[in-house]
Structure 1
Amino acid sequence: MHRFALPFAALFLLPACQEAAAPAAQEEALSPVAANEIALADERRVLDLEGGVNFRDLGGYMTGDGRVTKWETVYRSGSPADLTEADFEELKRRGIRTVCDFRTNEERQSEPNRFAAANSEIEYWTRDYAMDAGDLMSALGGDDAGPEKSRAAMIGFYRELPGQHVESYRQMFRYLAEGRTPLAFNCSAGKDRAGMGAALLLTLLGVPRETVVADYALSDDIVDYRAELEESAAANPSYAALAQLPWETVEPLVASDPAYIESAFAALEERYGSVDDFIEQELGVTGQMKAKIVAHLTTAS
């Protein structure tokens, strides 16, 4: 079980020692951002799976209007390839009925989703596509290669990420509007394509931007991506090549830097006016669909 130290905001939930301080403490505890700082550290956040990668529950977050996202309703994760039989049983217990796999054809072929394949009752959605990571890979070479160049490349990559995966996010929102939950969506590392999907969903639900960014950045606290890279190098030529490079140069590519998701939001706001407008115009989420998603995925606090 992954566990985190409670953030400073948790102190606001402690009984006030002085009567005069009580109203301020109660007000702080009820604010969505403060409540969500505590929710981020909830032990239910990260699933205790033997072979799960960054497998997380999106429940427990307070929205701007005081509703709370439901637990055991929507999950985000990385590759499901190493899930064990015990993990299968836990996911069955949670009743997952829909899986959106955002990975490429090649990724799914090399690391199949055995959980979805073994459960015929699960709606397993994928799409046929290949991903070009040429710009990111080119950032790793040249005389100026280093962490600054790699980080700049990732910021640029994120500016295009939502538009590159419109079809995936559109389908996820369709399923959610239809109430096909519990639903899990994944990519390979569970931080980029899945991280963007989670950010879009939480934004639609009205979760404060600070929390959306914090949920995105949580991957760095959950996964040791350096160890994952080294363990995968023997079987994956791309990982093997990365493992030979200085870690300082590679690290920005596997990080969940808040600047990355912020750059995606900034690009959407420049092009569409707001993230919500992108969701409506490009992902096809109508006002009626949004109301259904909010009803399916949140509850009164």
Structure 2
Amino acid sequence: MRPILLPLAALVLLPACDNAAQPSQAEAELSPVAANQEALTDERRVLDLEGGVNFRGLGGYRTADGRITKWETVYRSGSPAGLTKADNDELARRGIRTFCDFRSTEERASEPNPYVAENSDVEYWTRDYALNAGDLMHVLGGPDASAEKSREAMTGLYRTIAQDNAESYAQMFRYLAEARTPLAFNCSAGKDRAGTGAALLLTLLGVPRETVVADYALSDDLVDYRAQMQETADSNPSYSALAQLPWETVEPLVASDPAYIESAFSALEDEYGSVDAFIEQELGVTKDMKRAIVENLTEEA
């Protein structure tokens, strides 16, 4: 079982509740941001899986126009390699029919996805590319390596993460516009490539920025990345080199620091004027596609 740290707010991992559950009158009277603070720790958010890494849904979030994101429709996660037979059965029960894997060719070869291997009718999208961690490893292994340098490197990495993975995000949005849901998307840790994908999607849906950032940062509460890195270093190429370095210099790399996703947003706003403009211009999401995605993924609160 992959290690998980519960947040101080005692987020409880329980089986998913009825998708039709409606917010209470008190919740309905809250502002979207306030309501979403409660939604972050909704017991339905994190899937109770034996071998899942950061596997959670994007349901229950209020949007600026008064709608709410649907439960059991879109999921984000880390590496699916540890999914057990019971986990696969649970994902099948939820009807997950599309899996977008944002990992590199080497990552997928080292840690295959057992859910798609067991379910031949699931649409499994991947793209072949190689990770280039040369600059980052130079920072980590350099003579002036430090937590501060690592944090600076991550902030810089996030300034291009959306563009670097644009092909992956564009395909995910096409599937969502076509209502190929329930859909899951993943990377290796479930916080950088997948976290950015989730942030772009929630932004398109009109979820307030504060909630988008909080959903991104939630990974820090849910996963013990140090333990995961040590346990999977032999099979996970992303972790094998990191496991040999001092933890204080590595820790910023496995963090979900709000400053990272804010750096990504800032870079997109600097270059395109807004995150929505990037989604439209670079990911090819037309106005009709956006309307379809909002219709497919949200409902009246």
Answer yes or no: same fold by TM over 0.5: yes
CA contact (8 A) 2:5 2:223 kept: no
Cα deviation for residue 241 of structure 1 reads: 3.2
Q: 1:206, 1:88 → 2: CA distance?
A: 31
| Worse overlay, 132-141 or 57-66 | 132-141
Q: Does the residue aligned with 1:121 lie in a helix, a strand or coil?
A: coil
- The verdict on how the C-alpha distance between 1:34 and 1:232 changes in structure 2, with shifts beyond 3 A counting, is same
After superposition, the Cα gap between the structure-2 partners of 1:222 and 1:290, relative to the gap in structure 1 and judged at 3 Å, is: same
Query: Residues of 1 paired with 2:82 and 2:50: CA distance?
Result: 8
Aligned twin of 2:116: 116
| Amino acid in structure 1 at the alignment position of 2:32 | P
Indicate whether 1:203 and 2:203 are aligned.
Answer: yes
Residue in structure 2 matched with residue 239 of structure 1 by the alignment: 239
Q: Secondary structure at the match of 2:184?
A: strand
Matched letter for residue 175 of structure 1: Y
User: Alpha-carbon deviations, 1:224-248, whole Å to 9, x = none?
Assistant: 0000111123445663432232211
The offset of 1:264, in angstroms, is: 0.2
Matching of residue 79 in structure 1 with residue 79 in structure 2: yes
Structure 2 unaligned spans of 5+: 11-24
Q: Is the 8 A contact 1:5 1:41 kept in 2?
A: no
- What does the per-residue CA deviation read over 1:233-280, in whole Å, with 9 as the maximum and x for residues that have no partner? 344566343223221100001110000000000000000000000000
C-alpha displacement at 1:178, in angstroms? 0.3
8 Å Cα contact 1:2-1:48 kept in structure 2: no
Q: TM-score, structure 1 length as denominator? A: 0.91
Code of the residue aligned with 1:45 in structure 2: it is R
1:283 & 1:224 partners in 2: Cα distance? 33
Deviates more, 1:249-258 or 1:141-150: 141-150
Q: Give the equivalent residue in structure 1 for 2:223.
A: 223
Tell me how far 1:105 sits from its aligned partner: 0.6
Q: CA RMSD in A?
A: 1.8
Identical residues among aligned pairs (%): 74
Report how far residue 26 of structure 1 moved.
Answer: 5.9
For the pair 1:280 / 2:280, whether they are aligned, the reply is yes
Matches within 5 A, 1:58-73: 58-73=58-73
SS at match of 1:30: coil
Aligned residues: 284
Q: Residues 21-47 of structure 1: CA distance to partner in whole angstroms, max 9, x if unpaired?
A: xxxx96995200000000000011110
For CA contacts below 8 A with separation 6 or more, give which structure has more relative contact order: 2
**Structure 1 partner of 2:55:** 55
Partner of 1:103: 103
Q: Go from structure 1 to structure 2 and tell me whether the alpha carbon gap of 1:237 and 1:108 turns closer, same or farther (over 3 Å shift).
A: closer
- What letter matches 2:294 in structure 1? V
| Residues 5, 224 of structure 2: 8 Å contact kept | no
Equivalent-residue separation in structure 1 for 2:239 and 2:76 (angstroms): 23
Residue in structure 2 matched with residue 250 of structure 1 by the alignment? 250
**Preserved contact between residue 77 and residue 186 of structure 1 (Cα < 8 Å):** yes
Do 1:3 and 1:41's aligned partners in 2 also have CA atoms closer than 8 Å?
A: no
Q: Shift of the alpha carbon at 1:194?
A: 0.3
Q: Quick check: 1:165 aligned with 2:168? A: no
Partner AA of 1:280 in structure 2: E
Q: Per-residue deviation at 1:55?
A: 0.2
Moved more, 287-296 or 244-253: 244-253
Unpaired runs of 5+ residues, structure 1, are: 8-24
Provide the secondary structure at the position in 2 that maps to 1:143. Answer: coil
Preserved contact between residue 105 and residue 129 of structure 1 (Cα < 8 Å): yes
